[in-house]
Structure 1
């Protein structure tokens, strides 16, 4: 299976780093509050953070009292940043692709991932491997791009707009056709995988999980009014989807 490593592209990495340095961004305003609210008590738990990126979530979990946090990522640049800026005695980082996690010789109480599973070609196999890495009654809590969002393939404008540019509604294109998408986001040829909502649910359940909670991205109305260009589209389509699953 393909192992994408777009974050070691200089242009992409520098742009992503710039976005995350701005306090008004999708990760901090939308993703982090929702996934944090869905987490179980992390006190004394062993955590595996898949696609840990710059390590913000790993540091968050460490501060919540986790016994240990192992963050894995395929990007050298992201891991280098994490080790400098989000390090603690109970955090360790390891370079590894999603496709190789079956080789981890440990068991965890909680497995998490923040907006990284879009890059996985075989989502069903990933969920089975996560299930194997969890202790009995362990939890997997993750976010990823919503299937309505990944259905966008860059061919058409994402929104139908008024003459003044106001977004009337989001356009949906080839939702029922699953597989890889190539779009332009900072760089040409940015790759992610689209799968339907039904595929996500069935792959999670087939791996042996019970789905305890599912959420979709939302933004407080005051933030939408204050930053309409950044967050105005959220009322038309959810950017992210969130699951909390329990090992049955």
Structure 2
């Protein structure tokens, strides 16, 4: 079966398997991406935060428990929205069941806009970047992660299974739709180069303060083998921008 956007997470088996993978210590989300996201967001005390593609809102729960003033999550999957509302359970948080393309972004409203491994599901990032820009207060931050373009250029090397031992990089400069075999399904994502992300952000008006490719740290992995495997190719691309 083929899924677009957040629809994959409304498939019961996919959702269950994803949540198990997401909770692993060695998952790229936990071992590589999360520490960088927190570093780049910086001080979020008393800040209002918009999280695009918030999933189960465990990120929002953590932000609020550490002093964020208000958290707004936008999520397209009905199952994820249900999990998010249960997880958040806070008067200082709101979850919207909306796709990122249809959500009505308020103007000049948030101190921080963030998105974690969600924007590669969106075909029109220019419009999304413009919406994020207008939703931010002056000097507000936009911090987001996507799958690294070296891994989304081609999924030929996943034909043997999800856990790649080698990576084929092909059609790198051919921007557009890709179909990834993932968790026994086909999930549609959108490939674009680092340069295309950069130009989309700067032409929107953002100032790019930092860019990271997720250099792995040994202490965050449970085994030398997995740490060494993650040293072979970057799996995450993270931008920190300011309005």
Name which structure has the greater RCO, CA cutoff 8 Å, separation 6+: 2
Note the 1:91-240 alignment, pairs <5 A: 91-104=93-106, 107-153=109-155, 155-156=156-157, 167=165, 170-222=167-219, 226-228=223-225, 230-240=226-236
The two structures have a TM-score, normalised by structure 1, of 0.88
Residue deviations 1:86-141 (CA, integer Å, cap 9, x gap): 33221111111110234546711110111111101011111011001111111101
List runs of 5+ in structure 1 lacking aligned partners: 160-165
- So what's the TM-score if we normalise by structure 2? 0.89
Q: CA RMSD in A?
A: 2.2
Residue 58 of structure 2: aligned partner: 56
Provide the rounded CA distance (Å) in 2 between the counterparts of 1:204 and 1:8.
31
Taking a change above 3 Å as real, the CA distance of residues 213 and 157 of structure 1, as seen in their structure-2 partners, is same
Please give the alpha-carbon distance, in whole angstroms, between the structure 2 residues aligned to 1:157 and 1:52.
26
Q: CA deviation at 1:68?
A: 0.4
Query: Structure 1 182/68 Cα, relative in aligned 2: closer, same or farther at 3 Å?
Result: same
Tell me if the contact between 2:218 and 2:224 (Cα under 8 Å) persists in the aligned partners.
no
Whether contact under 8 Å (2:105, 2:131) holds in the other structure is no
Alpha-carbon distance, 1:171 to partner: 2.5
Distance in 2 separating the partners of 1:18 and 1:211: 34
Q: What is the number of equivalent residue pairs in this alignment?
A: 237
Question: Secondary structure in 1 aligned to 2:44?
Answer: coil
